């Protein structure tokens, strides 16, 4: 695999990154098999591994640490911080208090002295971005992390963070990790262009759209909801839901495109994000060895302009067939008090 430089850091990474969200009790609880999957990915030329503290409550990081013993120097290791890791109001978020504590736990679980890319997993409206950038800058200077980035941040907050870092003399986010797939192209409108303008690396997640681009779920066929992602989020796979029907309708059209190309639907899906000039690496997240092997077949697929034009006709650029699962939602949309004046201060009609 040809390596690409990650966001001007000088760190070279493979165009495919091994995601480990499915390693641990939420996916594959067999540590030995997970270690074998990681080793197989490394043997195939992948040198980039992405995990997070909250994946299986730290179990994923522990598995990755086991797998990298004796191979740590050859791997670019990324993890994340933000989501709650226990009871209590200060065991999550983007505060200095939590970041400087949780990085130590991640280092311990990973069995390493440093993290190559430490990412803020989601925005935190309760913490000033300067506070977060300051804490991360200190961790770089201490040698505990080499660079830091953000994940699933909207474009306006990416730009705000850039200017705060510039004004305050802090180091800046070097990467962004957004959801991006054939079914979810919304980031093409602003997130990917912003990352390009700011010289950020981009590692995208969910190229298989939570399983809908694996070919397992087809229109007119009974959906197997007994294994994989449907067991975690059955509502997202409800065949009677209009959103599910819309996904299945588009999947049928994309299957035809894959057949024209001479590849499978998942091979088409993992090849698609790399066609965008802003994308550095695509995260693939297998649960089994078979899934890894099948996904890696897509690394040899090259999409020409005619194929990309056909895809644009099916899913227009910058549009989402469905809101990507797990994206950040601005608090004013979920908390009424953040978008409404107190009743006593509202002007009379």
Q: Is 55 a catalytic residue?
A: yes
What are residue 254's DSSP bridge partners? none
> Strand 145-151 to strand 201-204: parallel, antiparallel, or no bridges (unpaired)?
unpaired
Query: Which of the residues 16, 55, 162, 180 is marked catalytic?
Result: 55
For 33, the token pair is 């098999």
- Residue 342 makes CB contacts below 8 A (sequence gap 6+) with none
**How many residues are there in the chain?**
349
Could you give phi then psi for residue 62, rounded to 5 degrees?
-60, -45
Largest CA distance in the chain: 71
Is-contact 264 12, C-beta < 8 A?
A: no
**Integer Cα distance of 170 and 163 in angstroms:** 10
Is-contact 283 19, C-beta < 8 A?
A: yes
**How many of the other CB atoms lie within 10 Å of CB of 116?**
19
Indicate which residues carry an active-site annotation: 55
């Amino acid at each position: 695999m040809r390596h690409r430089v990650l966001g001007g850091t000088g760190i070279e990474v493979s165009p495919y990154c091994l995601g480990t969200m499915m390693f641990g009790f939420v996916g594959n609880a067999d540590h030995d098999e997970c270690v074998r999957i990681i080793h197989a990915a490394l043997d195939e030329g992948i040198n980039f591994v992405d995990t997070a503290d909250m994946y299986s409550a730290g179990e994923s990081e522990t598995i990755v640490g086991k797998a990298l013993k004796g191979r740590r120097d050859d791997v670019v290791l990324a993890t994340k911080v933000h989501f709650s890791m226990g009871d209590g109001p200060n065991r999550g978020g983007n505060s200095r208090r939590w970041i400087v504590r949780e990085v130590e736990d991640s280092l311990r679980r990973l069995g390493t002295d440093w993290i190559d890319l430490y990412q803020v997993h989601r925005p935190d409206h309760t913490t000033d971005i300067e506070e977060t950038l300051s804490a991360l800058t200190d961790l770089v200077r201490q040698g505990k992390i080499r660079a830091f980035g953000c994940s699933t941040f909207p474009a306006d907050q990416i730009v705000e963070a850039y200017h705060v870092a510039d004004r305050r003399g802090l180091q800046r986010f070097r990467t962004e990790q957004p959801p991006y797939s054939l079914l979810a192209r919304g980031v093409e409108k602003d997130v990917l262009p912003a990352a390009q303008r700011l010289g950020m690396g981009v590692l995208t997640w969910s190229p298989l759209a939570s399983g809908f681009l694996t070919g397992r779920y087809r229109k007119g066929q009974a959906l197997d909801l007994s294994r994989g992602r449907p067991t975690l989020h059955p509502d997202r796979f409800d065949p009677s839901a209009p959103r599910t029907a819309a996904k299945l309708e588009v999947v049928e059209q994309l299957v035809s495109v894959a057949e024209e190309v001479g590849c499978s639907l998942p091979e088409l899906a993992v090849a698609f994000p790399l066609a965008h000039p802003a994308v550095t690496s695509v995260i693939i997240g297998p649960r089994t060895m078979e899934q890894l092997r099948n996904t890696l077949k897509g690394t040899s697929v090259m999409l020409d302009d005619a194929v990309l034009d056909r895809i644009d006709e099916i899913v227009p650029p910058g549009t989402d067939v469905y809101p990507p699962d797990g994206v950040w939602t601005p608090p004013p949309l979920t908390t009424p008090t953040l978008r409404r004046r107190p009743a006593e201060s509202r002007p009379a009609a």
